[in-house]
Chain A
């Protein structure tokens, strides 16, 4: 212990040596360079995101508005065999379905806009008229001025994308004070249609929601229980290693493979109804489950072992430890993983194409076993249409899809912050 300390080189380090100064400068330069590269990467991705959002909003906002044309309608002259009493009765819908609203619109339009006047009205005009009568039976007894949606060509002309003829026609109508821009309620409440002014997103949204309910009900409990079993009960051996590798691989399998699996198993083997949300939900559940298992296992792993010890140490059984302590503490992580898995499933298109959720359905699904389509599939279908009117509808649908995804991810962040416990 008494040996004297002898440095190898007795000359003291010269911190002012030019070589040393140069090294220091190089170190700072490297740091600055790295920061700039990082900043560049962030701005580039922010730029892409901004570009996406701006184009979507610029193209899509038009989808939420529509051009409406004024039409004077007198249902008394149109000899409608419908009374206000009938509309108040139980068979109102059947009675409404009897009425030839299309003919009424055509006659009135031809009278007020000249020959072929009906052509400038959207096929949805009769539905708007029908809804107006349903809402106000008084229309049966007096002449009224209604604003009905214009045909796609006129609508596009109003939005500045029209053909020369349509634009000229629109100018003429506008100067007569017979055109206005209104909010496109049909887009939010309707289903798919052949005519861009009549299409709505609600059919696809409802199909997506029904599908997501099935996915959540299947994937969440199975995924969480799998995660709990693998983390808390299963012994580490070759079998659990194999299961772990399989689950990790499943999470990376392309979604179209799951679509083929759904087609082969749920449709061809189990004979479940084609194109139905139940099949879509089951297929997407297969895809979402591995994500939930992986997120759940990580969340359970991050619960400190001392908490398990504490509960075991006062005589809690394994299942009490899991359900009283581990799962409540892991829940924020499990929920975050679940929502991220669900939002991925929400935006999934390929599996739905494989199980027939891509056909044309003109009304929203009534239940889990009725034909439906999904929001991203609807976007895919509309993007295939040539008509200019569908371009803005596609973008508008994308805006709605992004809004849903944003809301789901926001919910995930909220849940994580709200329920996260610190110790």
Chain B
């Protein structure tokens, strides 16, 4: 399942398996995440795509019964090595969740929290700059510039999700993982997030899990199709959608199951 990339991949996974107790959720998945790509993971519910996504920043560590096998590298560095600092890893590999989950604090505090705990800003002025830059990149600045002290939870669903994206990029990550970021949003808010993903591409390596195949086709350059915990097919998005090599992929894309 090799893809030619012009540059070395940002993240590489080799032989990754994840167990929940005795249950094998991911079976021997190997994949490269491109530096300047949006990579989409598609597949029916329960196929393990979200589980795999969460191995990329070790969020699965928080589930006591989860067990990991294999090797994942970020810029050639083993992220499961005992020397790896998980806290730093999660700052470098940011995450946006399925349901918008802003902290019940002000908009400003939501964005400033990450830089503050990592000590990225030397003073108030620098923090203001980081907050403004992050909100601008997340395309939210114009809507909230006059009410930064209002609660983040008072925003609309789409705005909350963009706030979460701003919060993730405020710590200047290298990779952003998005776990079905639009599944709780209406079509207009979804379009805005997709537009945003386009703009963020190139600056960050982006991995997005999605149920929506049109979305995968619209925003990604590479697509991986997961089924029953295995990686069935991985390739250029246009290839996967127009000329899939595997019948299982074809059946899923044409709506035979899912």
Asked whether B71 is an interface residue with its Cβ less than 8 Å from the other chain, the reply is no
Interface digits, A319-345 against B, CB 8 Å rule (1 contact, 0 not)?
010001100010000000000000000
What's the count of A-B pairs with C-beta under 8 Å? 69
What DSSP secondary structure best describes chain A's contact surface? Answer: helix
Q: Cβ of B101 and Cβ of A422 under 8 Å apart?
A: no
Asked if A315 meets B104 with Cβ closer than 8 Å, knowing A320-B117, A422-B153, the reply is: no
Question: Is A325 in contact with B168, judged by CB distance below 8 angstroms?
Answer: no
Interface residue count on the A side (C-beta < 8 Å) = 22
Q: Which of A313, A317, A325, A423 is close to B153, meaning CB atoms less than 8 Å apart?
A: A423
Q: Which residue of A236, A310, A312, A329 has the most chain B CB atoms within 10 A of its CB atom?
A: A310
0 or 1 for each of B42-62: is its CB under 8 Å from A? (1 = yes): 000000000000000101001
Is there a chain A Cβ closer than 8 Å to B241's Cβ? no
**Considering only CB atoms, which chain B residue lies closest to A237 in the complex?**
B64
| Complex-state Cα separation, A310 to B117, whole angstroms | 13
* Closest A residue by C-beta to B97: A309
CB of B113 within 8 Å of the partner chain: yes
User: How large, as a class, is the contact surface on chain B?
Assistant: 20 to 34
Interface stretch of the complex, out of B7-15, B83-91, B139-147, B209-217: B83-91
In the complex, chain A residues whose CB is within 8 Å of the CB of B103: 307, 310-311, 325
Tell me, in angstroms, the Cα distance from A235 to B65 when the chains sit together.
10
**Contact, CB under 8 Å: A314 / B167:** yes
Contacts A309-B101, A314-B167, A329-B104 given: A324-B59 contact, CB under 8 Å? Answer: no
Q: Please encode chain B, from 69 to 97, with 1 for each CB lying within 8 Å of some chain A CB and 0 for all others.
A: 00000000000000000011111001111
Q: For B117, what are the chain A residues with a Cβ–Cβ distance below 8 Å? A: 314-316, 320, 324
A376 and B164 CA atoms in complex are apart in Å by 54
Q: How far does the alpha carbon of A311 sit from the alpha carbon of B87 in the complex, in Å?
A: 10
A236 to B21 CA separation, bound complex (whole angstroms)? 14
Indicate if the CB atoms of A312 and B101 lie closer than 8 Å. no
Could you tell me the distance in whole angstroms from the C-beta of A103 to the nearest C-beta in chain B?
70
Q: Measured between alpha carbons, how far is A316 from B89 in the docked complex, in Å?
A: 11
Q: Which B residues fall within an 8 A CB radius of A?
A: 57, 59, 62, 64, 87-91, 94-97, 99, 101-104, 113-114, 117-118, 153, 164, 167-168, 170-171
Kindly list the 5 A-B residue pairs having the minimum CB-CB distance in the complex, ordered from nearest: A315-B91, A306-B101, A313-B95, A314-B114, A315-B90
Of the A-B pairs whose beta carbons lie under 8 Å apart in the complex, a sample of 9, sorted by A's number, is A304-B101, A309-B59, A310-B101, A313-B96, A314-B113, A314-B167, A325-B103, A423-B104, A423-B153
Q: Chain A interface (Cβ within 8 Å of chain B)?
A: 235-236, 304, 306-317, 320, 324-325, 329, 421-423
